[in-house]
Amino acid sequence: MPETKSGRDPGYAKYIDHTVLKPETTRETLKRFCDEAKAYGFASVCVNPANIKYVAGELAGSGVVACSVVGFPLGASLPEVKAFETERAVADGAGEIDMVINVGALKDGDFDFVEKDIAGVVRAAGGKPVKVIMETCLLTDREKVEACKRAERAGAAFVKTSTGFGSGGATVGDVRLMRAAVGPKVQVKASTGVNNRRLCDAFIAAGATRMGTSKGIKIVDGNDE
């Protein structure tokens, strides 16, 4: 991997989903994240469903996508609830959906259920890209690979590592494993722990094309101190 360079580099902006998902998030914080995303040209602002309509309004015409999580953060909602949540988010202006799989079902080996759960969200998204969050810190490598393959079969646009609410985040090894598990039409998103440019570079080298992080400004500005 090339040595990480310092200094501002706007080329990193396209990788960043500027993420604000804490339960105490206020409108003031949402406005700040939207303004930052517009100023830096980030790919999206990723928020909870209750905030998507406001964020979509703030981002209108900017080229930055409003992204909504679904079934977040546990993934244990009923499939029909995830589908409804997706439909509502899209109606409220979401241009991308980040859904959490049913981790327990995956660990039970009920792979068909996992695939149907994802497929229901993909259908409800009506063509909007769906990113499938696996919570990799809870999974074996076999489970990660199976989840990736099921997500691809269900029509997902991305497979994604983490919610940020689990016991761990993205690792370079997991990103590499996920990249190898899916075909070229499915992208990989590294999320949680992408806190500086050095790590961002490592994830890009491993095959990630999107990063879920609240540290996008730090990454673009090259401030790894």
Residue 116 is inside which H or E element, if any? Answer: helix 111-125
Q: Is pLDDT of 168 > 80?
A: yes
pLDDT at 38: 98
Q: Is pLDDT of 2 > 60?
A: no
Q: What is the DSSP-derived secondary structure letter of residue 61?
A: T
C-alpha torsion sign, points 36, 5, 203, 76 = negative
User: Among residues 117, 160, 174, 215, which one is catalytic?
Assistant: 160
What pTM did the predictor assign?
0.96
**Is 185 domain-assigned?**
yes
User: Among residues 17, 98, 117, 174, which one is catalytic?
Assistant: 98
In this prediction, residue 223 has a pLDDT band, given cuts at 50, 70 and 90, of confident
**Is 163 domain-assigned?**
yes
| Separation in Å, CA 9 to CA 13, 98, 145, 197, 220 | 8, 27, 33, 10, 5
**Is 29 domain-assigned?**
yes
Q: Is pLDDT of 225 > 60?
A: no
**Is 76 domain-assigned?**
yes
Q: What is the mean pLDDT of residues 162-170?
A: 96
Q: Is 160 a catalytic residue?
A: yes
Q: What is the extent of the structural domain holding 80?
A: 12-221
**Is 87 domain-assigned?**
yes
**Is 7 domain-assigned?**
no
Looking at the DSSP assignment, which residues form a beta bridge with residue 130?
A: 97
Domain count, the chain: 1
**Over the chain, what is the mean pLDDT?**
96
CB 147 within 8 A of CB 159: yes
C-alpha torsion sign, points 126, 112, 163, 208 = negative
User: Among residues 53, 131, 144, 189, which one is catalytic?
Assistant: 189
- Quote the distance between the C-alpha of residue 198 and its chain's center: 20
pLDDT more than 70, % of the chain: 97
Please classify residue 4 by burial: count the beta carbons closer than 10 Å to its beta carbon, then call 0-12 exposed, 13-18 middle and 19+ buried: middle
| Separation in Å, CA 142 to CA 46, 120, 170, 206 | 29, 24, 17, 19
Summarize pLDDT for 135-149 with one digit per residue, the tens.
999 999 999 999 999
* CATH code of 96's domain: 3.20.20.70
Summarize pLDDT for 16-65 with one digit per residue, the tens.
999 999 999 999 999 999 999 999 999 999 999 999 999 999 999 999 99
pLDDT at 3: 62
In this prediction, residue 1 has a pLDDT band, given cuts at 50, 70 and 90, of very low
